[in-house]
Amino acid sequence: RSLLGALHVAWQSLMLHGSAVFTTLPWDAGVRVAAPGPYLARLRCHASRLDIPWPDDFPALLRAALEAACPPGASSTDDAAQGLLRVELTSDGSVTATTRALPAVSPGPWSLRCCQAPWFGHGITGTKHGDWAAYRDATTYAREAGAGACLLLRRDRIMDCDRCTPLILRSDGVTVLYPPEALGAVHSVTLSLIKAELSRAGFSVIEASFSFGAVLDAHEVILVGSGVGVQQVHQVDGQVVGVGHQLFSAARAALVAQRADSWASLDEAVRAAGALSPILRCMSWPLPKDDWLMPELAQELLDQRLWGESAAELGWAPDRVLLHSGGHVSEIAKHSFIAGPPTMRFRAHQPPAEEASAFGRCTKTQQVLSGHIPALESSVPQPNLRWCVETWSGEAWEATRTVETQGSLAVSLRAVADIARKEEPDAIIEALPDLPITTGAVTGLLKYDLVQWTEALRLHHIAEPQELIGMLYYVNRWLVHDRCNEVLWLCAPPGDVWAQKVRHFLDVQLPHLSFKYCCGINSVQCSVVHSSVTDELHAEAVRTVQNAIRAGQLYQLNLGRKWQGKLCQAPWQTMRQLFEESSAPFSAFLDVPDEGLVLCSASPEQLLSVNQGIASARPIKGTCPRGRSPSEDEQLRTEMVASDKELAEHVMIVDLQRNDLGRVASPGAVRWARWQVETFPRVQHMVSSVEGSLSPTHDVWDALAAVFPGGSITGCPKTVTIAAIDELEDFNRSSWTGSMGFVDLRTGNGQWNILIRTVEVTKRASDGRLFEAEVKAGGGLTINSDPEAEVAEAKLKVSPLLRAAFGVGQADSLDKSRITAAACHSKSMHYEIHPINARVQSLLRGWLRSCTEVPSRPLGTWRAWAPDQHPVVSAGLSLNRCRVLFVENLDSFSLNIVHLCTRLGAEVVVLDGRAAPTTMQTACQTLKPTHVLLGPGPGRPEMYPLTMHAAQMALQGELGVPLLGICLGHQAIGVVNGWNLVTSPLGAVHGLPEDIHHKRQGCFGQLASPTSMMRYNSLVLQRPQSQNDDNLFVTAWDEQQFLVMGIQHAERPVFGVQFHPESVGSSDGEQLLRNFLSVTWVSSHPQSRM
């Protein structure tokens, strides 16, 4: 089958190349066509994609073809299209035109037939413009079935429709979706012409992938095309779909108005052909896959005055960006990028003190580790985030405007991208498979300080007023090293002078260049290095964090430490040395001369990747050194995976990343995709991949804001640990643990790293030749951390940075003799996790479930709600649907619970547990829930008024619906009932699966006893000895059958569990939640199938 599939794809590709392309214009049955420019531009685009040459004399060929097809005669007086004019270009350069009258169209709504279209998904866009027999067969099939058109699917996803484009209006009455061209749909000129008018009519028209189920659930379905105009759909494969009139009426009115204004004579059509913009061409050269070639090529560009400050002498901006994939070629180390001189940039600065006074710094003594979270009051708005827009004049950066936004980081970044997108050349982009960047992109730096716009906290150690906190560039000149295919690409606008010079240099010099691998700088003067803390104070801080974990304030925290001194060599040489000694897949270099800022990063960690709507993160947690030999490497890896501390540290971050991606992913669409060990020159890490499909209403900027800053360099729960870091570290993180990366403006794809293993350099204002540098390193702290080992780990990570930046490190770095060539440069950098003990085996089963399980029922939905929002009128629920009120308590796993509920078909509404107690009554009256879930969280339940009040209502029988408390929610039930909440006498357990013994009743029905569940708790409930007759009884215990792990009310549907059923480490967590939703649901709705 795989061979036949490969032959099929090869045959398709062969048929597509060397055939013909065509476009179909609306025709008035005389000598006029509608909007010829966009239709002919699409023709040229498809010709480029299929490698069909575009004739230099195309306008003349088109004139001859039009005159042959449309002899002089009277034009129709009706602005509606009477027919179609097809213009075809063949591979031999001939142009023909044919006309046909439109057949009579049924006045009523259309029915559709579905047809599987397996040819999609092979990277072929505009298939029907090559070998389009498959489209023709689909049209014939629909007609024979008595349908108006054929809906084309690949598996369960809508790809396209024959002769037209399907649009669905979602139930919100605003969001309109249509299939993306990137997946193979033919670009709809008609839709592009009326899209702006639909937006003005109040619709949000989004290019996004959607399923067949979304069509059936749509409020309205219409078709748009040159031949069909605008048609309404009322049936798909015999199933009735929502037939509204809102979208249909607006689209038809927009098309009528557009056609009335766009009719053009044949002469005007020929002139439009002559005015088509040139196609952007990307040039390529062979270049081996060695990871040191791109930095050395950057050095050559410096020498040729084509990059950096020397390029400013020739009129180009001196700012430099290099995104470098070091190490062995792999799926994460495939491409390196040199950004050509940028033409526009965006600078963000910390707001002035007077603007941030209500929002700004808290006092230094926050006492976060004692439960005092410096959260912003809901009445206090975050300060506006301003980006100064600057363009390069040829001599300097000149400010042109300011972009100012209020609210989230995503809103601000999207505003920047919108301005950059307007700079895109009006050129048709040729399709280049597997290149992340082929045209304009936004690239640059997001400092950690931007956490102020992702977390509503008052922080003390933030940037000084007017200090740089972000620097982004619009770049449309790129050198891309495709290491897998050993090709160097140059992508730039047509006629770009810089690209012409680079092309000439590469054509002449690249075959003769003798690249010299940088061997570092051996003779440098060592600098005096100062540490922010002593080793003793560092170890004491670890113990302080562990005390906070025992008190239940947090689960894990990433603590950093700073070293600073005078840079011992030029920043670019520092970067080249890092590339040699610490090759890493997400390395980056940034030079902003007028800000006096240089970053040299050898980061191994990815914050976010977005590719064709799939967002993924690669958290790194768990560290061990390299060995003297491959066998010692393996032994150290095995010890790391077997370590409870390293294992818990890693799995906690996996659960946190699932939560963060859950903010922007479609319901139930987040999965733990990979778990392995990766080796680097001096250390080995456990690395996972977590990914999810972006919902149609979210984009790459939403995803970036959702995961920023990375959970692996903050901790769990994220909000609390960010505040605790601010209290403990006693310095501003600045660029460290921020991010560098890019977003391609055409595709919306992007990649961003986490700035660890980074040297941050600043120039002294008094002497531009002197550089101050600082490096930072740290590690994740858990209850099982050894303070002295944490100090040693931080120094191990920082040792190559100290050597590159300050020329020191033999006392504080790993003995280089330990690292043999066999260990450092072994063929494989990735190693599987093996089931070396029961806990690892349990987690491997959880990873396998997450990778392979597909929901077997329709997914639910979720949304956040607050009482001060406009009232939400409760709609009726079908018998197979629950409406769950989920009370969120600042936890970093909350959305994992929400997504698990949607996976089970529930509709979930999220409330803030810190809200006023009366919010619960308002929510119940307004939303009419069927179930209530009290979520987990840091601290004690008394910190969350709404959570405590909901527990009280449930115990008193006033809630009226079943309630389940998870961890802190479970504790709230016990505390309200008079039980004691105490520090666990057996010690805290965070991020480890454990056997739970239970009575097999209530939520535990149908579960084996014991069952493996993930624990994240330091506090446990104890029944007072004086309370022997209360209505709460224990239903579950820990693996020693001593600690309370589950409770239940004797008469009312009130349950609590002291573990996390949503975690990847909970084997029966989904069944437990299903029991909660189904058992009580059946009691009220006997016909329910849940």
Q: Which residues are identified as catalytic?
A: 605, 621
Please name every residue paired with 997 in a beta bridge, in sequence order, or none if there are none: 1037
149-154 and 110-116 strand pairing: parallel
Q: What's the rounded Cα separation, in Å, for the pair 1060 and 894? A: 10
CA distance 876 to 885: 16
The span from the CA of 297 to the CA of 301, in Å, is 6
CA distances 166 to 47, 231, 271, 402, Å, are 24, 10, 32, 39
DSSP codes, 890-924:
S-TTHHHHHHHHHHTT-EEEEEETTS-TTHHHHHH
- E runs forming strands in 77-174: 83-90, 95-101, 110-116, 149-154, 157-161, 165-169
Encoded amino acid at 732, one letter: N
Do 628 and 818 meet the contact criterion of CB atoms below 8 Å apart? Answer: yes
C-alpha of 1026 from chain center: 53
Supply the DSSP symbol for 131. Answer: S
Distance between the two ends of the chain, CA-based, in angstroms?
Answer: 39
- Token couple for 403: 């972009």
Identify the H or E element spanning 1079.
helix 1069-1084
460 CB burial (10 A radius; 0-12, 13-18, 19+): middle
Enumerate the β-bridge partners of residue 320: 591
Looking at 157-209, list the stretches that DSSP marks H as alpha helix, in order from N- to C-terminal side: 189-200
CB 44 within 8 A of CB 116: no
Among 883, 888, 882, CA closest to 872: 883
Q: Is the dihedral of CA 1007, 1009, 1012, 1014 positive or negative?
A: positive
Residue of 899, 937, 935, 981 lying closest to 555 (CA atoms): 937
Contact 168, 57 (CB under 8 A): no
Helix, strand, or coil here: 366?
coil
Handedness of CA 1013, 1016, 1021, 1022 (dihedral sign): positive
Tokens of 843: 């987690």
Q: How many C-beta neighbours within 10 Å does residue 87 have?
A: 25
DSSP string, 973-988: HHHHTT-EEEE-TT--
Is residue 583 within 8 A of residue 734, CB to CB? The reply is: no
DSSP string, 756-807: -SEEEEEEETTEEEEEEEEEEEEEEE-TT--HHHHHHHHHHHHHHHHHHHHS
Q: 717: cis peptide before it, omega within 30°?
A: yes
- The whole-angstrom separation of Cα 993 and Cα 984 is 17
Of 657, 694, 693, 695, the residue nearest 675 (C-alpha)? 657
> What would the two tokens of residue 304 be?
């040729």
The conformation of residue 74, written as its DSSP 8-state character, comes to P
Query: Does residue 945 contact residue 901 with C-beta atoms inside 8 Å?
Result: no
Interstrand relation of 204-207 and 175-178 (parallel, antiparallel or unpaired) = parallel
CA 912, chain centre distance (Å): 25
Phi then psi dihedrals of residue 332, to 5 deg: -105, -5
The three-class DSSP label of residue 272 is helix
